[in-house]
Amino acid sequence: MMWGPGGGGWSGEAWLTMGLVMAAVWAVAIWALVTLVRRPGRLDPARPPIPERILAERYARGELTTAEFEEQLTTLRAAQPD
């Protein structure tokens, strides 16, 4: 019999090693996926550039009036290279 007593099956260390390697492979795959999804502006081209987003957040918090927001937004867009 091939897998009988003393027949050459995997040892406990081999199973442990295989389990640890599989856990490491899954961890790297999940880390890579999360990193790709969280990278700002890489996967979502409709998202505004960071300076415009910061300006919009300041406007949303009430730190800027509408006139200040529009003026600074116009200045930002004029300064950006095309």
Expressed as residue numbers, the domain containing 38 is 9-44
Q: Tokens 């009430």 sit at which residue?
A: 62
Co-location of 56 and 73 in the same domain:
yes
**pLDDT per residue as tens digits for the range 13-23:** 888 999 999 99
The span from the CA of 23 to the CA of 21, in Å, is 5
pTM over 0.85: no
pLDDT for 1 equals 42
**pLDDT per residue as tens digits for the range 16-44:** 999 999 999 999 999 999 888 877 655 55
pLDDT for 79 equals 81
Q: Is residue 27 part of a domain?
A: yes
Rg (CA), the chain: 27
User: Which helix (H) or strand (E) covers residue 24, if one does?
Assistant: helix 12-38
Co-location of 13 and 33 in the same domain:
yes
Number of domains in the chain: 2
Co-location of 38 and 52 in the same domain:
no
Co-location of 18 and 37 in the same domain:
yes
